Amino acid sequence: MATDVVKAQTTPAASTLTDVHTVAADKLDTIRVFVSNRGAATTWRLTYAPAGAADVDAHVIVRDENLSSPGSGVSKPMTMAATDVLRVFSPSADLTIFVNGISQDV
């Protein structure tokens, strides 16, 4: 079973649901998400879309968490299956999202 490093980074546009990470086919990723706020206090939301499904309320894993100015947040480690998609949303354009972890063949 091969293991690779997962690294992703994005600076999403304000008020835009943005894909942060998509798991490759035949992979299983264990990741953690870090968020950094470079601007005024704001909130952020993190959603987990199984197989890239359209977002629904049940997919929200971090709901409108407050971020101070400047501020940061960290998700708990999570395991994602092949083709699952992690998405982020914030009313601010001042966030940077980092994803890192490991990816394993299944």
Which band of pLDDT confidence, cut at 50, 70 and 90, is reported for residue 1? low
Average pLDDT, the chain: 95
- Gap between the Cα atoms of 47 and 62, Å rounded: 7
Largest pairwise CA distance in the chain: 44
Which run of H or E residues covers position 54? none
- Tell me yes or no: is domain 3-101 CATH 3.40.1130: no
State the Cα–Cα distance between residues 104 and 97, nearest whole angstrom. Answer: 22
CA separation for the pair 65, 35 (Å, rounded)? 11
Name the nearest CA neighbour of 21 among 90, 62, 82. Answer: 82
The pLDDT > 90 percentage for the chain reads 93
Q: Which helix (H) or strand (E) holds 57?
A: none
pTM value surpassing 0.85: yes
